[in-house]
Amino acid sequence: MASGDGAPDDSGCHILHVDMDAFYASVELRDRPGLKGSPVIVGGRGGRSVVLSATYEARAFGVHSAMPMARAIRLCPYAVVIPPRHGQYAAVSREVMAIFRAITPQVEPLALDEAFLDVSGALRRLARRPAEVGQLIRDQVSELGITCSVGVATSKFVAKLASVHCKPDGLLVIPADGVLGFLHPLPVSALWGVGRQTGQVLARLGLRTVADIAHAPAGSLERELGRAAAAHLKALAAGHDDRAVVPGAQEKSIGAEETFASDVCDPDLIRRELLRLSGRTARGLRAAGCSARTVVVKLRLASFKTITRSRTLAEPTDVAQQIYAVACALYAAAGLDARARLRLVGVRATGLIPASAAAEQLAFGERPASWREAERALDRIAGRFGTDAVRPAILVNGGP
DNA sequence: TCTGGGGTCCTGCGGCTG
DNA sequence: TCTGCAGCCGCAGGACCC
């Protein structure tokens, strides 16, 4: 392995993982240069909000993303807290993705701030080596006023670990013959699919490093983790990952959820929230050109116990009124105690099919054309005047 | 320590069907 | 007609990722 400064053997390393450094915070700093060098945290200020992103100055105090904001402020009381501007991050993300796509069409975005690139075609066209393409991307991204880290390897999994390893503002090539040397000393938590729970199981088995997993008997892993997870970890620990970069992968579900500022037990309030979330979900479906066959309602109790209930429809839909009706039925069927306090409700649509295919299916049945046309008209108004410009009457006088 | 919001994937169970 | 079985699908829950 080698840094971009040397001359690493990057032959065959056609996969790049590009990851923006502290993306949301970097965008904020770019737009407010006076804050450069200060600890900055992006996130809500509400009692239940969490850290979305933090500058490296804030991270030095132990702050990290997904940490409860109250705790982050205790750790770093002088941090500047900035409420998130998701629209701005999405706009910068589009610029970044455009840079990637100008290099290669083989771009698989993972989130707003990271993507896999397969540059095998671009190497021939640009007559450059993989590490040089990685550096070219870093140079072009830096012109947007933010930095990124690039991992260069023969597989997605190793490229991603490499980009994490060289953060911030770095480039790391893992040559084909250096994969095991790079992977094996890493802790098991570096592997995809190893979180807190799996990490505890592995620790119980005495497995702490990737090398331990590579040498562990498959049988004991299978007994503890199940066949699929065991095979997955064994393959990764051996450096095997043959997944291709898939541009424009279709999403499998679309949904919305909301945590209440304080726990709620009033069923009317919960149904109002279900209506709002059904509307957001249906708008998401229409924006993606999809209809959904299954509606899932998620209810999280004050105790943090989470209940989900789902129902598959006779015909796919992208209509909020239909989703809302099912969501209410599922909420009622969950049979919660009248005193049960909820901290979160969510609505999700799965079993997605293209809206055009759904329209063909609906042609044989009764078509809820009036609601669909009405909601499409609302989409057009929202597109011009914002999503708050028009909403159901029940939601007009203050929400839950 | 007191846990957001958007997702994906896997497992286990039960019902249905051939 | 009944039984056993396999395969599929729907459903619920959990773990994980960014």
pLDDT in tens, A21-64: 999 999 999 999 999 999 999 998 877 889 999 999 999 999 99
In chain A, % of residues over pLDDT 90: 49
What stretch(es) of chain A map to CATH 3.30.1490.100? 253-395
Backbone angles phi, psi at A360, to 5 degrees: -65, -40
A253 touches strand C (CB under 7 A): no
Please say if A224 is a catalytic residue: no
Q: Which helix (H) or strand (E) holds A293?
A: strand A290-301
CATH number listed for the domain at residues A23-85: 3.40.1170.60
Residues A153, A159 contacting (CB under 8 angstroms): yes
A309 touches strand C (CB under 7 A): yes
User: In angstroms, how far is C14 C1' from A306 CA?
Assistant: 10
- CATH architecture of the domain covering A184-237: Orthogonal Bundle (1.10)
Q: Is a pLDDT exceeding 90 seen at residue A323?
A: yes
What stretch(es) of chain A map to CATH 3.40.1170.60? 23-85
User: In angstroms, how far is C2 C1' from A399 CA?
Assistant: 58
Mark residues 113-132 of chain A whose C-beta is closer than 7 A to nucleic acid strand C.
113-114
Q: Is a pLDDT exceeding 90 seen at residue A180?
A: yes
What stretch(es) of chain A map to CATH 1.10.150.20? 184-237
User: In angstroms, how far is B1 C1' from A68 CA?
Assistant: 8
Band of the pLDDT at A4, cuts 50, 70, 90? Answer: very low
Nucleotide nearest to A260 (CA to C1'): B4
Mean confidence (pLDDT) of chain A: 87
Q: Which residue has the higher pLDDT, A380 or A133?
A: A133
- A134's CB contacts (< 8 A; 6+ apart) are A4, A16, A18, A150, A152, A171, A173
For B9, nearest residue by CA–C1' is A193
Nucleotide nearest to A66 (CA to C1'): B4
A196 touches strand C (CB under 7 A): yes
Q: CA-to-CA distance for A226 and A205, rounded, in angstroms?
A: 14
Q: Which of A114, A251, A273, A366 is catalytic?
A: A114
Nucleotide nearest to A113 (CA to C1'): C18
Tell me which CATH homologous superfamily contains domain A253-395.
Answer: DNA polymerase, Y-family, little finger domain (3.30.1490.100)
Q: What is the pLDDT of residue A3?
A: 46
The DSSP secondary-structure symbol of A385 reads H
User: In angstroms, how far is C3 C1' from A333 CA?
Assistant: 35
